[in-house]
Amino acid sequence: MVSNFYGDVSVMPAVAEQEMNSWMQQLSVSHLGVFDTNAALKELYIYVDKYREQILENLESDIYCRKMHLTHKLENISCTMEGEETSTC
């Protein structure tokens, strides 16, 4: 069942970054006050930091992720979270 889900997701057409950003903004507004955003971001970053290499490898191996420069964006987020300037990343 889980394999089928991920298989189905992998063959779906890519969503434009602008469309995804718009949808995420709407979702964020609809859940305003429901949870602590900073705590959620911290938990996500802990997960990303733990699996950084695997995530970066997968982002680099996926053509859509490369087109959207997600590896670079994730590295900028990491720099920000670690207190480094993103211009040096």
The per-residue pLDDT for 36 is 83
Q: Is pLDDT of 85 > 80?
A: no
| Cβ atoms of residues 74 and 56 within 8 Å | yes
Q: Is pLDDT of 88 > 60?
A: no
pTM: 0.56
Secondary structure, 3-state, the chain: CHHHHHHHHHCCCCCCHHHHHHHHHHHHHHCCCCCCHHHHHHHHHHHHHHCHHHHHHHHHHCHHHHHCCHHHHHHHHHHHHCCCCHHHC
Closest CA to 44 of 16, 68, 78: 78
**What is the rounded (10 degree) CA torsion for 81, 86, 88, 89?**
70
Interval 35-81: pLDDT, tens: 787 888 889 999 999 999 999 999 999 999 999 999 999 999 888 88
Q: Is pLDDT of 86 > 80?
A: no
Per the model's pLDDT, the better-predicted residue between 62 and 32 turns out to be 62
